[in-house]
Amino acid sequence: MKGTLRAAWIIAKKDIAIEQRTKAVVVSTTLFATLVVILASLSFYLTPALARQIAPGVLWVAIAFSGLLAVGRGWAREREGDAMRALLLAPVPRGAIFLGKLIANTLFLVAVELIVAPLVALFFHIDLLEVGPALLSLLVLGTFGFAAAGTLFGALSVRTGARDLALSVVVFPLVTPALLAAVVATKQLFAGAPLEEMAVWVKILLTFDAFFLVAGLGLFDALMSD
């Protein structure tokens, strides 16, 4: 396990180094998510009360679409130069490759959310000081599950040549439970519901995260084999 974690961190660091050089994932996905938030605020905004009801949907739609973009771009880096073959040749557990990509994808998405969530709060009348810590927890839980499913099935795009369209067809149905749970929990949070009421949705998110983490570690080798 220690070897897997060590290799995963080396792979994640490599993705961070590429991102520092190119800024291709975080900048493009942040711009995309920002556009979604601004367009939604222009189209759906009526009153502050109504805005708070719409905000969870806008936030998670922006995260879902930009997340898929980020995951697709993350795997595209392994296709360019056929670097994936060198990675598969390395003497590390194949699950470590999945875990490394997952760590990097989660970090990139959280970076996007640190910009998008305050924008949603600004445009949709959410008091971030009031909901901040709980919202951050929901964002991390929802993002991790989304990234885990996206990273696992995004790997198929490296092997099959199927690109973003195929990724969205496979990933969106799979992440629906996590997205639904995240949206409902966020809606309850913005409506001022007590934390206990959100517990069931948080449990769903935790279960989803654990399921796709274990599935990714276990299935990645089989997905990568001819």
Partner 1 sequence: MGAPAAPDFATVSVEGLVKMYGTTRALAGVSATFAAGEVCVVEGPNGSGKSSLLQILAQLAKPTRGTVRYGGLPRAQARRSIALVAHAPLLYPQLSARQNLAFFGELYGLERSASERMLERFELTRLADRPVRTFSRGQLQRVALARALLASPALLLLDEPSTGLDVDATEKLVTIVDAERQRGAIVVCVTHSEDFATRIADRRLRLKRGQVVS
Fill in the per-residue mask, 81 to 120: x = in contact with partner 1 (CB under 8 A), - = not in contact: xxx-xxxxxxxx----------------------------
- If one asks whether residue 200 binds partner 1 (CB under 8 A), the answer comes out as no
Continuous segment of H or E residues that includes residue 222? helix 195-224
Which is closer to partner 1, CB of 14 or CB of 125?
14
Tell me the closest approach of the beta carbon of residue 169 to partner 1, in angstroms. Answer: 22
Tell me the closest approach of the beta carbon of residue 146 to partner 1, in angstroms. Answer: 25
CB contact at 8 A, 157 and 75: yes
Tell me the closest approach of the beta carbon of residue 48 to partner 1, in angstroms. Answer: 44
* Nearest alpha-carbon partner for 179 in 136, 145, 216: 145
CB contact at 8 A, 58 and 36: yes
CB contact at 8 A, 177 and 204: yes
- If one asks whether residue 14 binds partner 1 (CB under 8 A), the answer comes out as yes
- If one asks whether residue 196 binds partner 1 (CB under 8 A), the answer comes out as no
CB contact at 8 A, 108 and 25: yes
Evaluated on CA atoms 42, 43, 46, 51, the torsion sign reads negative
Which is closer to partner 1, CB of 21 or CB of 42?
21
Which is closer to partner 1, CB of 125 or CB of 159?
159
- If one asks whether residue 7 binds partner 1 (CB under 8 A), the answer comes out as yes
CB contact at 8 A, 70 and 33: no
Which is closer to partner 1, CB of 11 or CB of 59?
11
Which alpha helices (DSSP H) does 23-93 contain, by range?
24-44, 48-79, 83-89
Choose the binding region for partner 1 from 13-21, 105-113, 118-126, 146-154 (rule: CB under 8 A).
13-21
- If one asks whether residue 158 binds partner 1 (CB under 8 A), the answer comes out as no
Which is closer to partner 1, CB of 93 or CB of 132?
93
CB contact at 8 A, 172 and 154: no
CB contact at 8 A, 113 and 178: no
Tell me the closest approach of the beta carbon of residue 82 to partner 1, in angstroms. Answer: 4
Kindly state the DSSP code that residue 92 receives in the 8-state scheme.
S
Chain positions contacting partner 1, by CB under 8 A: 7, 10-11, 14, 17-18, 21-22, 77, 80-83, 85-92, 225-226
